[in-house]
A and B are shown apart, each in its own frame.
Chain A
Amino acid sequence: MGLAKRVIPCLDVDQGRVVKGVQFEGIRDAGDPVEISRRYNQEGADEITFLDITASHENRATTYDTVSRMASEVFIPLTVGGGVRNTDNIRDLLLAGADKVSINTAAVFEPEFVKKAADKFGSQCIVVAIDAKQVGPDRWEIFTHGGRKPTGFDAVEWAQRMVSYGAGEILLTSMDRDGTRDGFDLDLTRSVADAVTVPVIASGGVGNLRHLVDGVIEGHAEAVLAASIFHFGQFTIGEAKEAMANAGIEIRR
């Protein structure tokens, strides 16, 4: 017995509402983030990830308010990402009640920012989010701006660099799989998970419970993240854990 693999529902939040797109487009409304997190909390979610996809600056106040309301009711770890660009953003999110913040685009533009953030707030609360697309056999590249802009960085090397800068965890999303329901990119997940010393969260593409099992057993992920299979009532968190336990994976009940 030991550390449990984690199941993390992800809320993509736009102006205070949970939405879910297919390959970063075609948005569907899935409800109120606080209400949804309360339900996931009761169902046994191990953590919640909140990605603020609100583009405009003026809506950040809504985000802090939502995070604060979630943190007052939901007593499991909460990771918040989206638009984290400087240490003030991080401080504000932690003060609002986030336990970890996820840095994506800002890390690509200014890798030293990750170092600065980890020094200031501790690696335990710095998650680096990596959006990767396959560009060749066993080769994945980092993309920014919701998968539209290539950066030329190799995903595995980038993950290692981010860990050396102090990232405490990697949130790894396959842009090829996100929203497809075809399952995680297991080769990508395993390549990154085996290359870094910190936990890797697999993300992008979950369409059924077998995919979650595969992410851990074949992808070597410490945690699996999914959105739409939970939001639209296809499966509960409990069912996800049951499937993982049946496959011999240690989970928290």
Chain B
Amino acid sequence: MRQTVAVIDYGSGNLHSVAKAVEHAGSNQVVVTSDAATIAAVDRVILPGVGAMGDCMRGLQERGLDRVVLDLIGSKPLMAVCVGMQILTEYGEESSGIHALGVFQGHITQFPRSMTGCAGEPLKVPHMGWNEVMQVSHPMWEGIPDRTRFYFVHSYRYADIHAECVVGTCDYGSPFAAALARDRVFAVQFHPEKSHDFGIQLYRNFLTWDGTC
């Protein structure tokens, strides 16, 4: 079944690679758009995000896309990536504090300044590179082994791994959420479009996901 997909363009970086990865995963129609009518017409929507949470929120608001995103929650499958995931939470402590969309309960907080790894070595921030994701059972993980490594690059994270919406966790200094989900929304902190075959598999799963958890 061919699926039309909109990648929401709100002035954030690297939309090209998200669109290319979704095409590679099997969609024959991916549009990168900031047009509300186009977003309303497609089967599935991706909310990407690169950079600072505040800039992303502003970018959405300036284009009136914050309402567009909130309106589609629960009505069609939405996948959010990196800062796209962060702005679906309630609040981020980046810069002087960012009030976000509140689709998921919980906050985004900074990695602590002096973290150490298991051998006592200092851990660098940003958390940059390939780290293991521990899965919580969810249809979006179909065909992806537990503890598969995905590519992360971020300095802030969703730390409350006991929240009900958490469907994947990662560990860097301490555990944090790698994936959040609810009805028809799946959000990841890592970049599937940069995570080689299993990243593509995740987009492939999104193209057929019926939206249930």
| A interface residue numbers (CB < 8 A to B) | 1-6, 41, 46, 68, 71-72, 75-77, 94-97, 99, 121-125, 168-169, 197-199, 220, 222-223, 252
Contact = CB atoms under 8 A, between A and B. Distances in A.
Nearest to B197: A75
B153 interface: yes
B193 A75 contact: yes
B141 interface: no
Given A71-B20, A121-B51, A122-B13, A3 B194 contact: no
A163 to B, nearest CB: 10
Contacts of A76: 151, 194-196
B52 interface: yes
B129 A3 contact: yes
Nearest to A223: B129
Contacts of A123: 126, 155
Contacts of A1: 132, 147, 171
Contacts of B125: 197-198
B63 interface: no
B129 A222 contact: yes
Interface of B: 13-14, 16-17, 20-21, 24, 50-52, 55, 113, 117-118, 121, 123-132, 147, 149, 151-155, 171-172, 191, 193-197, 199-200
B14 to A, nearest CB: 6
B117 A75 contact: no
Contacts of B113: 197
By DSSP majority rule, is chain A's interface helix, strand, loop, or mixed?
loop
A157 B24 CA distance: 44
B130 A95 contact: no
Given A2-B118, A94-B14, A199 B196 contact: no
A124 B14 CA distance: 12
A124 B149 contact: no
A125 B16 CA distance: 15
A197 B16 contact: no
B17 A3 contact: no
Nearest to A169: B128
A124 B50 contact: yes
Nearest to A124: B153
Given A97-B14, A97-B16, A3 B131 contact: yes
Nearest to A41: B196
A199 B149 contact: no
B126 A124 contact: yes
A45 to B, nearest CB: 9
A222 B196 CA distance: 20
5 contacts: A97-B16, A97-B17, A124-B51, A197-B124, A197-B125
Nearest to B15: A95
A99 B129 CA distance: 13
B124 A199 contact: yes
A189 to B, nearest CB: 14
B71 to A, nearest CB: 28
Contact of B194 (A77, A121, A197): A77
Contacts of A198: 124-126
A125 B13 CA distance: 10
Contacts of B126: 123-124, 168-169, 198-199
Contacts of B21: 75
Contacts of B127: 3
A4 B16 contact: no
A77 B196 contact: no
